[in-house]
A and B are shown apart, each in its own frame.
Chain A
Amino acid sequence: MRTLSAYQDFIDFFAEINWKEIWRGSEQTIQMLGFSMLFTVLLGLALGVLLFLTTRGQLLENKIVYTVLSYVINILRSVPFIILMISIIPLTKIIVGTSIGVKGAIPPLVIAAAPFFARLVETALREVDRGVIEAAQAMGASKWTIIWRVMLREARTGIIAAITITAVTLVSYTAMAGAIGAGGLGDLAIRYGYQRFRPDILVVTVGLLIVLVQLLQTLGDWLVRRLTRK
């Protein structure tokens, strides 16, 4: 009988939840994550490759470009996300026309995550054996070919791992973005869980965020395993 009543308590605990709202929150989180990941990968990959190539001794060695880029990235990375988000509101309005909702969250998410991802890409490219790049040069490959067909190819597992880490980081950023009106699961957790003291909603939203992170990590690890040739 006791187990039955524990079960009943469990059901009752979640009885008041508006699942429609939870569903909408999940949708918004996924949207924020998807779009910000897309732009983060595009921008961060370009930055990371540029950062790597302009390093001393690399194909496009350029001290000025490297130093400037490196400083900007360090600065962006050292500002806490929530502060970054608030301080670039005018810029966000210029880019997407609003600073709230899913749309308003994407520019700050990308600006926060792209530098982080760029550093990870740079590190992944450093792992590529110099000898392989040299062999391609010796075969008469152009710089462009070397970037696409040798460096990015050889670094692919490192880059996928970087994408995974960045996606997981972005999940927590989207939750923070919820605090200033971006919507999503984070917004639900703060509005209900914190401000109206609804532990049931807190438990559900946090649970969903955990599931999301687990899924992303599992998918990333699986891809890395599949593509490893060492």
Chain B
Amino acid sequence: MKKPSTSFKINQVLRSELINIPLNLCLYNPPSPVWHYDGGITLIQLEGISKRYKNGKLVTTAVDNVSLTINKGDIFGIIGHSGAGKSTLIRCVNLLERPTEGRVIVGGTDLTALKSGMLQDARKRIGMIFQHFNLLTTATVRANVAFPLELAKMPRAQIRNRVDELLKLVGLSEHGDKYPAQLSGGQKQRVGIARALANNPHVLLCDEATSALDPQTTSSILSLLLDINRQLGITILLITHEMNVIRSICNRVAVMDKGRVVETGDVLDVFLKPQMQVTKDFVAQVADTIDSGHFDNRPEGIVVRVHFIGEVTYEPILYEEVKKTSATFAILQGTVSRMKDTPYGQLVVELRGSAADTGSVLEGLRKRGLDVEVIG
């Protein structure tokens, strides 16, 4: 099966000028293949969020004092095992679940302080998609997508055009008159996405949006989400228990365990240098990372781990630097892959030669921007 080329569709829709996106969002630059996103504009601020459920005398702390900052343009992933509190946390963002403590600030507005009418308006600008799609079973695809527009009191004729656009965007133009029961899981999620985007939200919340889908459908939905983020400039906050989802589209990640965020940062950093055991377990889910526990006690030389990030991954840097000296090297283990758009590589090599030679190789590699670590 061919993956639908969604970016092409989005471009067409944008050109039609019917989508009413603020100019600064149209000019949104796709993230360049650099992995640091410092200094962005804060879009979502979670301040000390806790959620406790009381059940008789038993108190469950589902979310425990979580603070997170999500910037405009981010695809921010929250990963954790079942029961870690991910769903509870993401549901706190649009107050489907009211936190026991803490504040939720979206686009500068403290949602926790809003009265219900105002909260309803704020929610119209926060799209959400769900693991089980949650479509109206009694309504056609078109009627499902039209629903949020009717809530926003858009005139009927305009609704028709907007629904056409949205269906085109998610590649379902031919299926408008079907009912959800007549669609595949991936198609249902596309309806969910169209519905969530209807009122031009500035953020899209995804609660395990691909967990009910097979791998191929998952990757087509993920690439649709990535396109939406890039072409429409919509910030995405997603939760998942699959590292693969994080690696394919996220630029930032938070790891949750037992209600707490235990690790957070740029995906590449967390991925290449996981600190906590939970994080290491998740990273190990994705098979092409290397485990470097077995290379100490090599008698001949020193064992170093070299991280390549970005375009340097494809440059013959190691060879060039070693060639400058009389040292030699042996590759013990290695991987070259891609995270979202960023190529990265990890090599474990043994450098043989005099201390001066190996020292100057290490220095040369560091000068050229590689991250070098002596591990044995």
CA distance A132 to B130 in the complex (A): 10
Binds B, one of A46-54, A140-148, A166-174, A217-225: A140-148
Contact B132 A140 (CB under 8 A): no
Contact A131 B137 (CB under 8 A): no
Given A140-B122, A142-B120, residue A132 in contact with residue B137 (CB < 8 A)? yes
Given A140-B120, A142-B120, A230-B181, residue A154 in contact with residue B96 (CB < 8 A)? no
Which chain B residues lie closer than 8 Å to A154 at the CB level?
136-138
Determine if A9 is an interface residue (Cβ-Cβ < 8 Å): no
Which chain A residues lie closer than 8 Å to B187 at the CB level?
none
Contact B123 A140 (CB under 8 A): yes
Contact B123 A138 (CB under 8 A): yes
Which chain A residues lie closer than 8 Å to B117 at the CB level?
142
Which chain B residues lie closer than 8 Å to A229 at the CB level?
137-138, 179-181
CA distance A136 to B121 in the complex (A): 13
0 or 1 for each of A150-194: is its CB under 8 Å from B? (1 = yes): 100110100000000000000000000000000000000000000
Determine if B35 is an interface residue (Cβ-Cβ < 8 Å): no
With CB as the reference atom, state the residue of chain B lying closest to A157. Answer: B138
- In the assembled complex, how far is the CB of residue B240 from the closest CB belonging to chain A, in whole angstroms? 18
Given A140-B121, A140-B122, A141-B120, residue A135 in contact with residue B137 (CB < 8 A)? no
- In the assembled complex, how far is the CB of residue B48 from the closest CB belonging to chain A, in whole angstroms? 23
Determine if B124 is an interface residue (Cβ-Cβ < 8 Å): yes
CA distance A227 to B124 in the complex (A): 30
Which chain B residues lie closer than 8 Å to A145 at the CB level?
151
Determine if A134 is an interface residue (Cβ-Cβ < 8 Å): yes
Contact B137 A230 (CB under 8 A): yes
Determine if A12 is an interface residue (Cβ-Cβ < 8 Å): no
Given A139-B147, A140-B121, residue A131 in contact with residue B134 (CB < 8 A)? yes
Determine if A214 is an interface residue (Cβ-Cβ < 8 Å): no
CA distance A153 to B138 in the complex (A): 7
With CB as the reference atom, state the residue of chain A lying closest to B140. Answer: A229
CA distance A117 to B329 in the complex (A): 83
Contact A141 B132 (CB under 8 A): no
Of A135, A137, A140, A156, which is within 8 A of B138 by CB? A156
Contact B120 A132 (CB under 8 A): no
Determine if B370 is an interface residue (Cβ-Cβ < 8 Å): no
Of A132, A135, A153, A230, which is within 8 A of B128 by CB? A135
Inter-chain contact count A-B, CB under 8 Å?
66
Contact B94 A153 (CB under 8 A): no
Contact A139 B181 (CB under 8 A): no
Determine if A27 is an interface residue (Cβ-Cβ < 8 Å): no
With CB as the reference atom, state the residue of chain B lying closest to A134. Answer: B96
- In the assembled complex, how far is the CB of residue B98 from the closest CB belonging to chain A, in whole angstroms? 12
> Which residues of B, 108-166, contact A by the 8 Å Cβ criterion?
117, 119-124, 126, 128, 130, 132-139, 147-148, 151-152
Contact B137 A139 (CB under 8 A): no
CA distance A134 to B117 in the complex (A): 16
Contact B123 A132 (CB under 8 A): no
0 or 1 for each of B326-341: is its CB under 8 Å from A? (1 = yes): 0000000000000000
- In the assembled complex, how far is the CB of residue B2 from the closest CB belonging to chain A, in whole angstroms? 30
Contact A139 B151 (CB under 8 A): yes
With CB as the reference atom, state the residue of chain B lying closest to A135. Answer: B134
Contact B123 A139 (CB under 8 A): yes
Which chain B residues lie closer than 8 Å to A135 at the CB level?
128, 130, 134-135, 195
Determine if A21 is an interface residue (Cβ-Cβ < 8 Å): no
Which chain B residues lie closer than 8 Å to A138 at the CB level?
94, 96, 123, 126, 128, 205
- In the assembled complex, how far is the CB of residue A219 from the closest CB belonging to chain B, in whole angstroms? 20
Contact A132 B96 (CB under 8 A): no
Which chain A residues lie closer than 8 Å to B181 at the CB level?
229-230
Which chain B residues lie closer than 8 Å to A139 at the CB level?
123-124, 128, 147-148, 151, 195
With CB as the reference atom, state the residue of chain B lying closest to A229. Answer: B179
Contact A150 B126 (CB under 8 A): no
Which chain A residues lie closer than 8 Å to B135 at the CB level?
132, 135
Can you list 7 A-B pairs with a CB-CB distance of less than 8 A? A131-B130, A139-B128, A139-B147, A139-B148, A140-B121, A142-B117, A229-B138
B binding-site residues for A, Cβ under 8 Å: 94, 96, 117, 119-124, 126, 128, 130, 132-139, 147-148, 151-152, 179-181, 195, 205
4 new A-B contacts at CB < 8 Å, known A139-B148, A140-B121, A141-B120: A139-B195, A140-B122, A154-B136, A229-B180
